[in-house]
């Protein structure tokens, strides 16, 4: 059996790690394990599958058998529409299909010495691709001037973790544990805006703004948890996650920005920043979670509250002195900023046995946007993500369990709505003097549907325990 564990661990290490892309503006966008997804991410102290390595490592103490598991979004469909997002009456919209793994994990322990257990996992916290493209041409009202504008934005965001969890069952009802994470994140962003003003087929003004960021970071952090099964019905858990410790030698990024304008005086102005292999440092807050579970003969209820601390505004890049003769006088010209406001999220879940070997699962959770716009200027500050909206997640599915297999399938719906946010860009036909003018009249609709599948194989027949 040890050979199987070693082979499986090597397999997930070699097949699941790829180039990585960064952090969005949400903490609970991606939950782990099929149970965790379909119960809204609410289980923690009562999690007895491998997802406990993510939710509460203390709950790993109550795992019944050595096992391996795999969870994936078999199919994910995303639709978004930002009304007025690129100017008055100019919408940004898109849709896409994709598939992505969530978690591959296993738990190992000696059945004769069940108090100490080790769990390992590859976890995907975020895997997002976005592209906004828009254009507009027209005569500027009450003038003889003509305007053309083009905008293209592409982003790939990803966040993976390698996890090793260790747990000890200090009594029949209490387990304590710690998960050791290697957190791998980064992003690839390209943002290009081209605007031109003309009169009588002669260019009078133009502005070209090109931005490109390739961000990578590796850091270490830990989650410490305790799970208390107070009696056969009630379980309680608490865990907290540390801030991360950055590994500078593995955290290097490239940032490039070029702006060229022709102003009203006929002067061509150019600013260039070219930052290569600069140190990057994305900060995670300290978090704490409380978990409650209540079980009746056929039904399990679960709830989870997560508290996330504040992180003051900072730049994620350690910029070097510029070499170009066209370097900007603004030292934040190619910097990217983050500021996290304090957040409280909650989740609830419900599992009910409808026949002997089948459960139905439903869940709900909040996922509030953590970007602090009291510290971040949405027009001047470069950011990793344009997500302004809060998310709400609804889920439902089924679980079939046998002596050696658990199979879970279902659907998770992510919904986000927002209004009166700052425009992503402004391609409205307007005078050159209003180059940096942005309105606050957007209306956003974001929907994502994820078809979830998970399977767990138990090395020991559970009916023989």
Q: What is the pLDDT of residue 33?
A: 83
Could you tell me which CATH class the domain 2-464 is placed in?
mainly beta
- Name the DSSP letter for residue 44: S
Give the integer Cα–Cα distance in Å for 361 and 366.
17
- pTM of the complete model beyond 0.85: yes
The confidence band for 173, taking pLDDT boundaries of 50, 70 and 90, is: very high
User: By the 8 A CB rule, do 121 and 103 touch?
Assistant: yes
User: By the 8 A CB rule, do 414 and 30 touch?
Assistant: no
pLDDT tens column, 48-77: 678 888 999 999 888 878 889 888 887 889
Is the dihedral angle over the CA atoms 454, 456, 457, 463 positive or is it negative?
Answer: negative
Q: What is the pLDDT of residue 6?
A: 41
Give the integer Cα–Cα distance in Å for 116 and 112.
10
Is 80 exceeded by the pLDDT of residue 431?
yes
pLDDT tens column, 229-244: 999 899 999 999 999 9
Is 50 exceeded by the pLDDT of residue 17?
no
Task: Give mean pLDDT, residues 128-137.
Answer: 90
Is 70 exceeded by the pLDDT of residue 349?
yes
Give the integer Cα–Cα distance in Å for 391 and 396.
17
Give the integer Cα–Cα distance in Å for 306 and 346.
6
Phi and psi, residue 308, nearest 5°: -120, 130
User: By the 8 A CB rule, do 463 and 5 touch?
Assistant: no
Q: What is the pLDDT of residue 462?
A: 62
Is 80 exceeded by the pLDDT of residue 185?
yes
Q: What is the pLDDT of residue 198?
A: 97
- Per-residue tokens: 84: 């007025």
Q: What is the pLDDT of residue 3?
A: 45
What number of CA atoms fall less than 13 Å from residue 383's CA on the CB side? 22
Give the integer Cα–Cα distance in Å for 145 and 116.
75
Is 70 exceeded by the pLDDT of residue 144?
yes
The confidence band for 464, taking pLDDT boundaries of 50, 70 and 90, is: low
The confidence band for 317, taking pLDDT boundaries of 50, 70 and 90, is: very high
Which H helix or E strand runs over 53?
helix 52-55
User: By the 8 A CB rule, do 422 and 383 touch?
Assistant: no
- Per-residue tokens: 156: 């790939």
Task: Give mean pLDDT, residues 400-425.
Answer: 92
Task: Give mean pLDDT, residues 434-457.
Answer: 93
pLDDT tens column, 243-252: 999 999 999 9
User: In this predicted structure, which of 124-133, 295-304, 324-333, 350-359 has the lowest mean pLDDT?
Assistant: 124-133
Give the integer Cα–Cα distance in Å for 233 and 362.
19
Task: Give mean pLDDT, residues 196-219.
Answer: 96
Give the integer Cα–Cα distance in Å for 107 and 63.
8
Q: Which of 14, 1, 2, 367 is nearest to 162 (CA)?
A: 14
Higher pLDDT, 5 or 368: 368
Is the dihedral angle over the CA atoms 250, 343, 189, 211 positive or is it negative?
Answer: negative
Provide the 3-class DSSP secondary structure of residue 263. coil
The confidence band for 463, taking pLDDT boundaries of 50, 70 and 90, is: low
The confidence band for 44, taking pLDDT boundaries of 50, 70 and 90, is: low
Domain coordinates of the chain in residue numbers?
A: 2-464
Q: Which of 236, 346, 362, 226 is nearest to 293 (CA)?
A: 236
Provide the 3-class DSSP secondary structure of residue 413. strand
Q: Which of 316, 286, 265 is nearest to 432 (CA)?
A: 265
Q: What is the pLDDT of residue 123?
A: 92
The residue whose two tokens read 């056969």 is 232
Is 80 exceeded by the pLDDT of residue 114?
no
Give the integer Cα–Cα distance in Å for 307 and 290.
9
Is 70 exceeded by the pLDDT of residue 22?
no
| Cα separation values, 22 from 25, 278, 385, 394, Å | 10, 16, 9, 25
pLDDT tens column, 276-300: 999 999 999 999 999 999 999 999 9
Rg (Cα) of the chain, in Å, rounded?
25
Long-range contacts of 13-19 (CB under 8 A, 24+ apart): 13/122, 13/162, 16/101, 16/104, 16/122, 16/124, 16/160, 17/122, 17/160, 17/162, 17/184, 19/158, 19/186
The confidence band for 42, taking pLDDT boundaries of 50, 70 and 90, is: confident
Task: Give mean pLDDT, residues 311-334.
Answer: 93
């Amino acid at each position: 059996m040890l050979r199987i564990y070693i082979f499986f661990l090597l397999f997930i290490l070699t097949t699941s790690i790829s180039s990585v892309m960064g952090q969005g503006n949400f903490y609970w966008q991606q939950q782990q394990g099929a149970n965790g997804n379909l119960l809204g991410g609410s289980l923690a102290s009562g999690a007895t599958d491998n997802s406990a390595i993510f939710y509460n490592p203390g709950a790993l103490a109550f795992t019944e058998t050595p096992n391996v598991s795999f969870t994936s979004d078999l199919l994910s469909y995303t639709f978004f529409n930002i009304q007025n997002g690129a100017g008055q009456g100019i919408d940004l919209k898109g849709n896409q299909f994709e598939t992505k793994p969530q978690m591959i994990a296993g738990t190992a322990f000696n059945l004769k010495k069940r108090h100490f257990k080790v769990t390992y996992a590859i976890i995907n916290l975020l895997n997002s691709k976005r592209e906004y493209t828009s254009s507009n041409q027209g005569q500027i009202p009450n003038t003889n001037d003509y305007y053309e504008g083009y905008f293209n934005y592409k982003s790939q965001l990803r966040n993976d973790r390698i996890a090793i969890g260790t747990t000890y069952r200090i009594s029949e009802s209490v387990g304590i544990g710690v998960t050791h994470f290697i957190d791998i994140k980064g992003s690839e962003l390209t943002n290009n805006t081209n605007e031109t003003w003309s009169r009588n087929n002669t260019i009078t003004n133009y502005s070209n703004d090109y931005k490109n960021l390739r961000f990578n970071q590796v850091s270490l952090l830990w989650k410490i948890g305790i799970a208390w099964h107070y009696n056969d019905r009630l379980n309680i858990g608490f865990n907290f996650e540390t801030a991360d410790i950055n590994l500078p030698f593995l955290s290097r990024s490239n940032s490039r920005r070029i702006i060229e304008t022709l102003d009203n005086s006929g002067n061509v102005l150019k600013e260039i920043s070219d930052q290569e292999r600069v140190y990057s440092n994305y900060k995670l807050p300290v978090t704490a979670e409380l978990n409650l579970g209540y079980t009746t003969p056929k039904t399990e209820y679960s709830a989870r509250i997560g508290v996330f601390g504040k992180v003051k505004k900072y730049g994620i890049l350690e910029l070097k002195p510029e070499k170009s003769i066209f370097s900007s006088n603004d030292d934040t010209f190619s910097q990217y900023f983050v500021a996290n406001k304090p957040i409280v999220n909650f989740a609830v879940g419900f599992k009910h046995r409808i026949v002997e070997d089948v459960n139905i699962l439903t869940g709900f959770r909040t996922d509030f946007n953590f970007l602090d716009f009291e510290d971040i200027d949405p027009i001047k500050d470069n950011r990793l993500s344009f997500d302004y909206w809060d998310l709400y997640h609804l889920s439902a599915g089924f679980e079939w369990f046998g002596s050696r297999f658990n199979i879970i399938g279902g659907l998770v719906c992510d919904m986000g709505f927002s209004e009166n946010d700052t425009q992503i860009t402004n391609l409205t036909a307007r005078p050159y003097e209003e180059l940096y003018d942005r309105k606050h009249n957007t209306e956003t609709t974001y929907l994502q549907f994820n078809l979830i599948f998970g399977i767990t194989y138990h090395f020991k027949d559970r009916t023989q325990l």
